[in-house]
Chains A and B, each alone.
Chain A
Amino acid sequence: MTTSLRPLVTRTSDSPGPTTPVKIGVTGLNFFYGQKQALTDLTINLHANIVTAFIGPSGCGKSTFLRTLNRMNDIIPSTRVEGRVLIDGEDIYSSSTDVVDLRRRVGMVFQKSNPFPKSIFENVAYGLRINGLARNRGEMEGRIENSLKAAAIWDEVKDRLTESAQTLSGGQQQRLCIARALAIQPEILLMDEPASALDPIATQRIEELIYQLKVDYTIVIVTHNMQQAARVSDQTAFFWLGQLVESGPTEKLFTNPAEKLTEDYVTGRFG
């Protein structure tokens, strides 16, 4: 661990921070789409083995920020990053960082489920194959089964692994995408509104899953649904116009926020 990181930046400083170590340390992060600045001077620490939720109105930059954590914005032309993002103390934007290796360690689940047009089995096998993580068929099958179990979808698909992933329902597709991300055993899991396209029951299953997964993973979830943030997260960060307004323990942020803006947002006065 680095000692150079600043403590958890939160203006609700009267509450103690999480007890787990800092996994992701962000300092002075600015982000630009062309000339347009989307994130301004973000500084926040995200801790290991807890769920951190990013909330805020549409266009506040919460998804953009999430995507800077695995450098997913690199594939968008004419974008630019300033500042530092440290994962386990290493700057992921330094020239020595292997972005392919980074994304292997920082998995991601997207808002719109995006299974590959392949079989259910091959969807999960893909990451194992390209990263050479299974030495033989038996190991491959074992890892796929474990990933599907971890994503709480094994019972539904175990008899139809060779069927196309497109035959699954929306909620099942999203859990398959989670299984696909888990298969390569990342350390961090980024989730960009993973349940926004799902019905309440499918949403509940995803939320239960998130709760179980934090034992093994550091989870960052973007959501526009405040109840969801309250239900699943330990820490919450509130964003507004590309800036971090406030972050801290979820319960505190929802019941006794330090900023008037946060209070107005969480009580539904705007957004």
Chain B
Amino acid sequence: MTRTSRRWTEWTIERALQACAAGSVLITVGIIGVLVFETVAFFREVPITDFLFGTVWTPQFSDAQFGVLPLVTGTLLVSAIAMAVALPAGLLSAIYLSEYAPARVRRVVKPVLEVLAGVPTVVYGYFALLFVTPLLQTVFPTLSSFNALSPGLVMGIMILPLVSSLSEDALHAVPTGLREGAYALGSTRMQTALRVVVPAAFSGISASFILAMSRAIGETMIVAIAAGQQPRLTGNPMSPVETMTAYIVQISMGDTPTGSIGYRTIFAVGMLLFVMTFTLNLASDWLRRRFREEYA
């Protein structure tokens, strides 16, 4: 190959790589741009205070009301149930894997846990609707066929590996010297784990919690299938609720005309969802970076 042609090849490859990188940035900017554009159009017709603080969400009715709170509480209710499952179970399995399990057990259990994360969410959705809900109804006869409880529990199982895997990484990164220091003072294994290692990994563990929360808030398929489509302002896990994500699915799949106010609601809700998960991701990232600095 001559020197000129080699230089030209280098130039082409460099430009191609640059274009790929620029492409993903442009697409992200484009998505946010569309979100902002449609959201602004929405708020020209509906005051932002009505949207954020209204308690009734009936955009499809002739007497349309655009209070997003029922969707937000629906989302938070299901997410809270999911977190109530995933946090303790995830943290405890992380502590077991990092501090108790022999290397052989860890090598088997960790990948198995991570398989849970690879199950398609639509499977979890039908699992919630067709298996968990009927099962729960034998215990709570008043439970509706669509409810917050069942998808919340199943979502908890779905995000459990996220919590356990990231928390385990954080625990594992705690220097052995700290464990030895604790043992040398006459600590039991549990005291070492709970009073020294877990606090030392605190920021990494909270980063995993926040990331799991963000994942729960953004999760769509399970709630769209099993939680129902009734936006109601309630804290009752037995009743049907509609989450922000499930609402977006409902309208996107329906026959709402493009450009109508009903169509624009999904962008406003989408924007709110994006702001929530983006904030959580930033917080998680910040915590994880701080954790890395501690033991660099």
Q: Do A and B come from one complex?
A: yes
Residue interface bits A71-115, CB-to-B below 8 A is 1, else 0: 010010100000000000000000000001101100110101011
Query: Is A210 part of the contact surface with B, judged by Cβ < 8 Å?
Result: no
> A117-B294, A130-B195 are known contacts. Are A72 and B184 too (CB-CB below 8 A)?
yes
Which residues of chain B (168-204) have a CB below 8 Å from chain A?
175, 177-188, 191, 195-196, 199-200
Contact with B along A167-178 (1 / 0, CB 8 A): 000000000010
A18 contacts the other chain (CB 8 A): no
Complex contacts, B178 vs chain A, CB 8 Å: 114, 116-117
Q: How far is the CA of A52 from the CA of B186 in the complex (A)?
A: 23
Minimum CB–CB distance from A130 to chain B (whole Å) comes to 5
B102 within 8 A of A: yes
Query: Quick check: A107 and B184 within 8 Å, CB to CB?
Result: yes
The answer, yes or no, to whether A17 is at the interface (CB within 8 Å) is: no
What is the number of contacts between chain A and chain B, taking CB atoms within 8 Å?
66
Nearest CB on A from B281, distance (A) = 25
Interface residues on chain B, number (Cβ under 8 Å): 21
Beyond A110-B177, A112-B177, A114-B178, is A75–B186 a contact (Cβ under 8 Å)?
no
Q: Is the interface of B mostly helix, strand, loop or mixed?
A: helix
Q: Does A131 contact B (CB under 8 A)?
A: yes
Kindly list chain B residues whose C-beta atoms are within 8 Å of the C-beta of A184.
185-186
The reply to whether B177 and A130 form a contact with Cβ atoms under 8 Å apart is: no
Q: Take A118-B199, A181-B185 as given contacts and tell me if A130 and B180 are in contact as well, using a CB distance cutoff of 8 Å.
A: no
Inter-chain contact B184/A108, CB cutoff 8 Å: yes
Q: Is there contact, CB below 8 Å, between A72 and B183? A: yes
Given A77-B102, A126-B195, A130-B195, CB of A114 within 8 Å of CB of B185? no
In the complex, A117→B187 CA distance in Å?
16
Judge whether B187 and A181 touch: CB under 8 Å.
no
13 residue pairs A–B, Cβ–Cβ below 8 Å: A103-B183, A103-B186, A104-B186, A107-B184, A107-B185, A110-B177, A116-B178, A117-B294, A126-B196, A127-B185, A130-B187, A181-B185, A184-B185
The chain B residues found within 8 Å of chain A, CB to CB, are 102-103, 175, 177-188, 191, 195-196, 199-200, 294
